[in-house]
Amino acid sequence: MDKVTVLAPAKLNLSLDIVGLLPGGYHALDMVMQAVTLYEKIELEKSREITLELPGSPLKADEKNTAWQAARRFLEAAGIRGGARITVHKAIPAQAGMAGGSADAAAVLVGLNRLYGGPLSFCRLLELGAQVGADVPFSLMGGTCRVQGKGDILKALPPCPDCRFVIVMPEEGVSTPAAFARYDRMPAAYHPDVEALEEAVRKKDLSALCGAAGNALQPCSGTEETEHICRRLRQEGAITALMTGSGAAVFGIFADEAGAEQARRTLQGEYRQVYLTAPDTFGARVTEEA
């Protein structure tokens, strides 16, 4: 084959705690992550060198892009002299805490492995992904996972209880380094109960899941819109609402499609970027071959 198309889902943090510091100054994290049905679409073609296109996106298509970095690492690890023409069709908001760049990198790793005949194991792809970005291993795994360390320690969990997520992206994104810097200056930190959230997932108890959901970085988002959007989502029927990752996107958890759809319609009158999504049980995957 000469071309593949890959879909890679966005992620939400059902819970995010900061539990210490790792060598090199990285924060040690403890999280439950959830893949959702909002996708980046990535097309990959065999080529002599790596090229990257981001049609319609303001992001730079250069060697610093995670998709380009993932391609380079894959080709080096697999001992392949060829390249890839990569076209990323963006759908996940930038600086949202939803792993858009990581989804692209995961898609490139999965797609190139298929395109070049599967020279690398999934475990090796996870290792390469961790070298590109903290969320890339989860973007490869997908589903519902307990994620620890820098994002490189993953434990697959059963699918989360059936629900819907309404995601609202504020006008301004949030810088991840800035959010962690604000966290480090806080006199007292909030620590959600990640263990309780995992137990709720295992018991398929949506009420308990919502009760345990939380994000230690939420007070550090740096945007006043975060709490306002959380209130609006609750007013529209969300069982709970919180920020994902280091922000800036906020999501509400709804028990059913009808309530979530009504909330989406209402909030679309107030914000430009509002998404209705469901849990996804997979990570990046090839959907077309040619």
Kindly state the average pLDDT of the residues 152-166: 97
**135 belongs to the catalytic site:** yes
In this predicted model, what pLDDT tens digit does every residue of 193-252 receive, in sequence order?
A: 999 999 999 999 999 999 999 999 998 876 779 999 999 999 999 999 999 999 899 999
Residue of 17, 104, 135, 280 marked catalytic: 135
Q: Stretch 164-192: mean pLDDT, rounded?
A: 89
Domains parsed from the chain with CATH numbers:
3-157+280-289 (3.30.230.10), 164-277 (3.30.70.890)
Average pLDDT over residues 165-192: 88
Which of the four pLDDT bands, split at 50, 70 and 90, describes residue 174? confident
pLDDT tens, 34-49?
A: 999 999 999 999 999 9
Residue 141's pLDDT is 98
Per-residue pLDDT, 143? 98
Q: Which of 11, 17, 104, 280 is catalytic?
A: 11
Q: What is the pLDDT of residue 72?
A: 98
Confidence band of 25 (pLDDT split at 50, 70, 90): confident
Q: Which of 100-109, 131-140, 180-189 is predicted with the least confidence, judged by mean pLDDT?
A: 180-189
Mean pLDDT, the chain, whole residue set: 95
- Taking only the tens place, the pLDDT of each residue in 235-269 is 999 999 999 999 899 999 999 999 999 999 999 99
Residue-wise pLDDT for 72-98, tens only, equals 999 999 999 989 999 999 999 999 999
* pLDDT at 7 (0 to 100): 98
Residue 162 is a catalytic residue: no
| Entry field: residues in the chain | 290
With a cut of 80, say whether residue 68 has pLDDT above it. yes
- Residue 288: pLDDT over 80: yes
Q: Is the pLDDT of residue 270 over 80?
A: yes
Neighbouring CB atoms inside 10 A of 239's CB total 18
**C-alpha span between 32 and 26 (Å, rounded):** 18
* Bigger pLDDT: 107 vs 247: 107
- Counting residues of the chain whose pLDDT is more than 90, the rounded percentage is 88
